[in-house]
A = this chain, B = another copy of it.
Amino acid sequence: MFCYLLAHTLEPDSLVAAAARLCYSTAAASDLLERESEHLSASLLRKLQRSGHHSPFEHASFTFGVDGLSRVASHQLVRHRLASFSQQSQRYVKMNDPQVVVPPSIHSNPQARALFQRGAEAASALYQELLTLGIPAEDARFILPHGWETRLVFTMNARELHHFFRLRLCRRAQWEIRELARLMLSECRRLAPVTFELAGPSCVGGQCGESPSCEKPYRNMEDVLRKNDE
């Protein structure tokens, strides 16, 4: 999987702080153009997050590109409705080489891996054969495995990203969308450190919201952002 930021709001921390400040002061919107003090912005953003006033975070928007995500994970991803998606079409784009995501549990089991790879290649060969028989690509793909790779461009605002990270970085989330969320959060924290300071699964904030709990709470943000966490 390859994930990166294609576009984003410039200086997201300042924009969110400026919008929040408008609500509670007599300042004109035009004065918001003046640079906020970074120190005051940071303290305001922390206060907003802690008191659950998330709406100003919606003004900051982030667009990601992702390659090599399985259709399993993309089906989960597009369930987030407060987001915008452009996805590679399997109706119009013919698939070539077998491009299948191999789950770690299969990759690390030699017998399972061999079976899986043979199965994926067989499905891919069958897809080509169906095309040869005149079956349209949009129907031939019914034989392609769920793990087949797809590509997307998607946009979420910082409020929805907070929601996404809370759900999808939980250890009980599916491993692949969790990996995607990890890559996304790293990028977001680089660009908007204060906006995403308190992002992540609820356990990082001290309290698990899942039932039953996984009983393996993350200790801190470094723990969340570490690869191969298990």
Q: Looking across the interface, which residue of chain B has its beta carbon closest to that of A103?
A: B139
A221 interface hit (Cβ, 8 Å) = no
Interface residues of A in 24-67 (CB under 8 A from B): 24-26, 28-30, 32-33, 47, 50-52, 55-56, 58-61, 63, 65-67
Report whether B143 and A119 are in contact in the complex, using a CB–CB cutoff of 8 Å: yes
Report whether A22 and B153 are in contact in the complex, using a CB–CB cutoff of 8 Å: yes
* Interfacial chain B residues near A104, Cβ < 8 Å: 139
Cβ 8 A contact of A30, one of B59, B67, B102? B67
- The oligomer's copy count stands at 4
A152 interface hit (Cβ, 8 Å) = yes
Instruction: Provide the bound-state CA to CA distance between A139 and B72, in Å.
Output: 10
Instruction: Provide the bound-state CA to CA distance between A109 and B61, in Å.
Output: 45
Cβ 8 A contact of A6, one of B8, B15, B70, B129? B15
Q: Which range contains the number of A residues in contact with the other chain?
A: 35 or more
* Interfacial chain B residues near A142, Cβ < 8 Å: 70, 72, 100-103, 106, 116, 145-147
Give the interface of A toward B (CB within 8 A). 2, 4, 6-11, 15, 18-20, 22-26, 28-30, 32-33, 47, 50-52, 55-56, 58-61, 63, 65-67, 70-72, 74-75, 78-79, 81-82, 84-93, 96, 100-106, 109, 111-112, 115-116, 119-120, 122-123, 126, 129-130, 133-136, 138-148, 151-153, 155, 157, 159, 174-175, 209-211
Which 4 pairs show the lowest CB-CB distances between chains A and B? A142-B147, A29-B65, A58-B84, A51-B211
Given contacts A10-B10, A22-B152, A61-B155, 18 further A-B pairs with CB under 8 A are A2-B30, A9-B9, A19-B63, A20-B86, A22-B88, A23-B87, A51-B209, A58-B155, A59-B63, A59-B84, A74-B75, A78-B78, A84-B159, A106-B135, A109-B135, A112-B133, A123-B123, A142-B147
